[in-house]
Amino acid sequence: MITETLVSLFNRDLNRIKTEIEQYKDETKIWITDQNISNSAGNLCLHLLGNLNTFIGAEIGKTGYIRNRPLEFSLKNIPRAKLITDIENLIQIVTNSLLKMAEEDFNKEYPILIFEKPCSYEYILIHLTTHLTYHLGQINYHRRLLDK
């Protein structure tokens, strides 16, 4: 049951990220910042791609992905089409990875220490959904404010 819920939430919100990136009228605005907005929508998108490819793709799906977190915030001007392709690929990676899990796996300890104490797969995956929606909101705000 939790598998289907998580797959549904990740798919919904990753598709919303894709839609936000597609809706920029001026593709160059994806990468701009403002005095009060320190991260561009493009860098937030790269951050989410790195985050989910690491904690779901590499750890659960065994994709072999290796994260370079500093690049998530320093790379600029990646074409919109590449971001969209990467989001679409990530949707498949997240879905396939989660579908490999048995219900009892969600209660097991997640092997990477992310917080001060060990957490279950269930806790980490729910955290990742809220992290995704947090940055989705930032991307939406960025687009509405700076894509004029």
pLDDT digits (tens, 9 = 90+) for 67-120: 999 999 999 999 999 999 999 999 999 999 999 999 999 999 999 999 999 999
Question: Each residue of 7-35: pLDDT tens digit?
Answer: 999 999 999 999 999 999 999 999 999 98
What is the helix, strand, coil percentage profile of the chain, to 5?
Answer: 70, 5, 30
Domain of 136, CATH number, reads 1.20.120.450
Give the number of other CB atoms < 10 A from CB of residue 132: 21
Q: Does the model's pTM come out above 0.75?
A: yes
Confidence (pLDDT) at 84: 98
Residue 1 pLDDT greater than 90, yes or no: no
- Specify the length of the chain in residues: 148
Measured distance CA(84)–CA(101) in Å, rounded: 26
Question: Each residue of 35-67: pLDDT tens digit?
Answer: 889 999 999 999 999 999 999 999 999 999 999
Measured distance CA(101)–CA(37) in Å, rounded: 38
Structural domain tally of the chain? 1
Confidence (pLDDT) at 35: 87
Taking the alpha carbons at both ends of the chain, their separation in whole angstroms is: 43
Confidence (pLDDT) at 74: 97
Measured distance CA(106)–CA(4) in Å, rounded: 13
Domain residue limits at 27: 2-146
